[in-house]
Chain A
């Protein structure tokens, strides 16, 4: 089995995710982009796990999915609070930490 296709898919997904994180101004979309990055990694884990014919890759992927769910929960809560405070979730306006 060739794993090139999987790795290419994952790389494309990762690149799209990174792009989304860096460029999108909407907080929710940034979170969704992070999910893309995580899922790219998951594809890699499953693919390498299949190559080595072990279960550990899939187990790891499951952990990542679980942690990602938690992370999204926290992230969405933060975005919600930002929205409540500022009536906007535009990340470009969040520069209070400017030095």
Chain B
């Protein structure tokens, strides 16, 4: 399966084609095709994951033997490394970092361990003598994403059969779900950066189509356009970054080649630090747009205009983590380019931590439960980016995994709430006291909420804690990113608080709507229960070695890190300052306390136990000022549409028009006028004077000659005969004279 993992995205692409072709003629109008294929894809992904895990059991003793399953026609550099090792015996080390790693490993007395990715490719096309491949790059990271994407996609498919049931574009909807899943799988398996761009844009298109699924209403199609256009801004960075990396890696798009080059010193044929810095900044722009990082996050809350299952699948669990995935995949570029190891500040950590806090703050002022969850997603994506920015690679991927589970659970829970409440998402005006009528939704939502708030022992606790420990603020892991730690702790506090707010408005108090809410059917609640279960237990995948109260998890610990994190010359190692943070008991206690404090304060506020806070915004000018800023989403939309767009639309357009009319048109008109003048002169002098006169002269001569000659043509046969005889007589006379003479 590891070699033929391309089957999984191909299955989903086939499903898309089948749904489009015959979907409307099948019973249920197409969802059976989608569910069937995605279920097969899920099973195959599990098989792939299991095979990867068993493969990780075989320890490779050298970089060369670890790269034996990388097709040298895909990655020339990996092929060289493998061949180098083969030439010097299996135990020989390859590459400067391989040697350094061996020394480090030998000093610590550990057994050497390398991950053994499987890279396959086929020839796609040639362009200017350059061979472009398409293929699969399978390692722990892509196997993890295969499972996450197919699992959530499967549950969303099932959920949608009820939620979107009876929609006029039902078949179309399932077709796009399949296409999205296919593109996302294509993206996560991308073997080279070009293939990655293709997958990246394909998921963008699917996102556009699904946000605008109900395009008859203007706000929905506006939101789809906004998502698409905002992403274009970042895509420019992606293109430029990929092009720089292509040239920096001596003309290769291959991920393995780029990572190997980025991870070796410049003297040993690596990429210079400046090039890495520039390309990682360009790629960061793409991460900011795709993964909703501050200040390009504005499209993500608007994307909630799409159907809720789509929000759960695309805008919470899978597509928006594409940016995180890309950084993780090209981690040597970022790690070395931004000098993450052993430092205390870099732009990736800044963007992530700012998003983590400021996104969470926006969650407080939304009436719409989905938008609150959207800002929560923005904030949690900020946590992941910050984790990558501080060098906590595994923590970022682990949080990606747990977040996908509990956030999908929360989104689908919001979908269930709306399904039982006449399609309203307005929790302030239409919800309240729903825990009695919707017990299953309530229970699963609570699990997701507590997991997101980071309470022991749910999944969010483990992954969030790993990120906080990874900042090294109170430890000495990867430098000391104290600023990031403070921002993220505040973010965690706010997360717990605004989530308590959604829980309060939805499930407690009195019902404020005007309908008769009801619990959703099993097609909706079963996916919720499965996701809530995963949201509860997913954290056990990466238990720390040494836990509170001296508990030692022993061989159960750090499974996720062991199977997912790459080890090899293509990934930052200890000698570059890449380390793993230990579990920090105090920090975990502080983070849990922050979460509990957030929940407690908010609950107290809503139950009226904090009277001095009630009506604060009407009494205090400062509070009102901050509330207004939050309600206007930091005025970013105003900045984009009113300032930037209006500037482009009016003064700039006017200036451009003036320049066009006066400068460009002047030149064009001048050229036109001189061309007309030249043409006239040529016409009068050369054409009329010389050419025409010659032609007319020839004609006149011919005419005059003809006029003279036509007199002979009388039409009288006898005159012709007379001429004939006269000429004959003349000729005869000549002959007589000549011959006779």
Complex CA gap A21/B720 in Å reads 11
A8 at the interface (CB under 8 A from B): no
List, in ascending order, chain A residues with CB within 8 A of B718's CB. 21-23, 30, 91-92
Closest to A92 in B: B716
Q: Which of B257-265, B578-586, B707-715 contacts A (4 or more CB under 8 A)?
A: B707-715
**A-contacting residues, B62-117, CB 8 Å:** none
List, in ascending order, chain A residues with CB within 8 A of B710's CB. 99
B681 at the interface (CB under 8 A from A): no
B716 touches A94 (CB 8 A): yes
Q: Of the candidates B709, B713, B721, B725, which one forms a contact with A97 in the assembled complex, judged by CB atoms under 8 Å apart?
A: B713
Complex CA gap A30/B714 in Å reads 18
Chain A 70-99 interface 0/1 with B at a Cβ cutoff of 8 Å (1 = within): 000000000000000000000110111111
B715 touches A94 (CB 8 A): yes
B714 touches A94 (CB 8 A): no
Q: Of the candidates A18, A30, A91, A98, which one forms a contact with B725 in the assembled complex, judged by CB atoms under 8 Å apart?
A: A18
Chain A 14-27 interface 0/1 with B at a Cβ cutoff of 8 Å (1 = within): 00001001110000
Question: Contacts A21-B721, A22-B721; is A99 near B716 (CB within 8 Å)?
Answer: no
Q: Of the candidates A18, A23, A91, A99, which one forms a contact with B717 in the assembled complex, judged by CB atoms under 8 Å apart?
A: A91
Closest to B718 in A: A22
List, in ascending order, chain B residues with CB within 8 A of A18's CB. 725
Complex CA gap A97/B711 in Å reads 12
Q: How many residues of B contact A (CB 8 A)?
A: 13
A22 touches B713 (CB 8 A): no
Chain B 677-711 interface 0/1 with A at a Cβ cutoff of 8 Å (1 = within): 00000000000000000000000000000000111
Closest to A21 in B: B721
B716 touches A95 (CB 8 A): yes
List, in ascending order, chain A residues with CB within 8 A of B717's CB. 91, 94
Complex CA gap A94/B716 in Å reads 7
B722 at the interface (CB under 8 A from A): yes
For the complex formed, measure the closest distance between the CB of A38 and the CB atoms of chain B, giving whole angstroms: 14
A91 touches B713 (CB 8 A): no
Q: How many residues of A contact B (CB 8 A)?
A: 13
**A-contacting residues, B495-548, CB 8 Å:** none
For the complex formed, measure the closest distance between the CB of A34 and the CB atoms of chain B, giving whole angstroms: 10
A98 touches B714 (CB 8 A): yes
Q: Of the candidates B709, B715, B721, which one forms a contact with A95 in the assembled complex, judged by CB atoms under 8 Å apart?
A: B715
Complex CA gap A95/B710 in Å reads 13
Q: Of the candidates A21, A22, A23, A96, which one forms a contact with B715 in the assembled complex, judged by CB atoms under 8 Å apart?
A: A96
List, in ascending order, chain A residues with CB within 8 A of B714's CB. 95, 98-99
Complex CA gap A1/B709 in Å reads 50
Instruction: Output the residue of B709, B718, B721 with the most chain A CB within 10 A.
Output: B718
For the complex formed, measure the closest distance between the CB of A20 and the CB atoms of chain B, giving whole angstroms: 10
Complex CA gap A99/B705 in Å reads 13
Complex CA gap A23/B725 in Å reads 13
Complex CA gap A95/B712 in Å reads 12
**A-contacting residues, B705-741, CB 8 Å:** 709-718, 721-722, 725
List, in ascending order, chain A residues with CB within 8 A of B722's CB. 22
Closest to B728 in A: A18
**B-contacting residues, A29-72, CB 8 Å:** 30
List, in ascending order, chain B residues with CB within 8 A of A99's CB. 709-715
For the complex formed, measure the closest distance between the CB of A43 and the CB atoms of chain B, giving whole angstroms: 18
Complex CA gap A94/B713 in Å reads 13
Closest to A96 in B: B715
Question: Contacts A18-B725, A21-B721; is A91 near B715 (CB within 8 Å)?
Answer: no
Complex CA gap A95/B326 in Å reads 99
List, in ascending order, chain A residues with CB within 8 A of B711's CB. 99
List, in ascending order, chain B residues with CB within 8 A of A95's CB. 714-716
Complex CA gap A91/B717 in Å reads 7
Complex CA gap A30/B719 in Å reads 13
Complex CA gap A43/B560 in Å reads 132
For the complex formed, measure the closest distance between the CB of A58 and the CB atoms of chain B, giving whole angstroms: 24
Closest to A30 in B: B718
**A-contacting residues, B433-456, CB 8 Å:** none
For the complex formed, measure the closest distance between the CB of B703 and the CB atoms of chain A, giving whole angstroms: 13
Instruction: Output the residue of B712, B714, B715 with the most chain A CB within 10 A.
Output: B715
Complex CA gap A18/B721 in Å reads 9
Closest to B714 in A: A98
Complex CA gap A95/B715 in Å reads 4
Complex CA gap A99/B708 in Å reads 10
List, in ascending order, chain B residues with CB within 8 A of A98's CB. 713-715
Closest to B711 in A: A99
Closest to A37 in B: B725
List, in ascending order, chain B residues with CB within 8 A of A97's CB. 713, 715
List, in ascending order, chain B residues with CB within 8 A of A22's CB. 718, 721-722, 725
For the complex formed, measure the closest distance between the CB of A40 and the CB atoms of chain B, giving whole angstroms: 13
Instruction: Output the residue of A18, A22, A96 with the most chain B CB within 10 A.
Output: A22
Complex CA gap A21/B722 in Å reads 9
List, in ascending order, chain B residues with CB within 8 A of A96's CB. 715
Closest to A24 in B: B718
For the complex formed, measure the closest distance between the CB of A36 and the CB atoms of chain B, giving whole angstroms: 14
List, in ascending order, chain B residues with CB within 8 A of A91's CB. 716-718
- Can you list 14 A-B contacts (CB < 8 A)? A22-B718, A22-B725, A23-B718, A30-B718, A91-B716, A91-B717, A92-B716, A94-B715, A94-B716, A94-B717, A97-B715, A99-B711, A99-B712, A99-B715
The 8 closest A-B pairs by CB, nearest first: A99-B713, A95-B715, A98-B715, A99-B710, A97-B715, A22-B722, A22-B718, A21-B721
